[in-house]
Structure 1
């Protein structure tokens, strides 16, 4: 594997688009939908467990992600929100207001929305499980249609 500070990337062809997984020896720091692979990708041991778990998530029912090393760069507030997102059970949804209340900042609904929108680990940190108070699907950084697909996938 390349040196300790080298960032590597790998890909997973999900049913709703190509996912790029990026990481380093410290852990996974990005999972995002992209249009096409970059030519410098390779198979790296540090990425394989994440790619395997993405495959399990899209292939089976009720897969919960576990034991992946993460290398998140965030504020304390963002980390608090993202940790809460990771505690939302598969197939469940919450509102931004419920998150704000749960993390002890009941008036910080907009700040919660901002932290959710800055989530660098799509699918793994399940921001798709967060709905507006109206109960509608709402926005998603990678398209509302993907969010709706993910929610339906988890309801199977």
Structure 2
């Protein structure tokens, strides 16, 4: 049976809020300067900490036990990520359209979570109750959003310098 979760994002404090049946059941709060986040959803609490140059990997810890519960690895060229659970299960995150406003987390067997988004809100349809997977999908989306913004910020000075030289 599908679960439906609405989410909205607050641009000012980098916070995602998750709602089930109109009641807030969780949140993801991102560190403004790093690609780390703390999350709660229903009765689960996780800490996401990204490591490596351009954060090619994120370790996910259960905040109650401090156990490493998953590792997320990114394929930046294809806008894909793999969520490897400590149980050995693997799930793929991938964008399903050019603008990355629709994406999915799936193991292509029994777990499928579909996300759709507009600018600051969206809907999650999930056939699993796995809080970590539900939260991870939004976390990965934000990582790719941050990377895209950083890339644009790097290229704007180059474009301005190039166009101003030709005038």
Please report the TM-score for the alignment, with normalisation by the length of structure 2: 0.28
Please report the TM-score for the alignment, with normalisation by the length of structure 1: 0.29
Q: Return the index of the structure with the highest Cα Rg.
A: 2
Between 1 and 2, higher relative CO (CA 8 Å, sep ≥ 6) is seen in 1
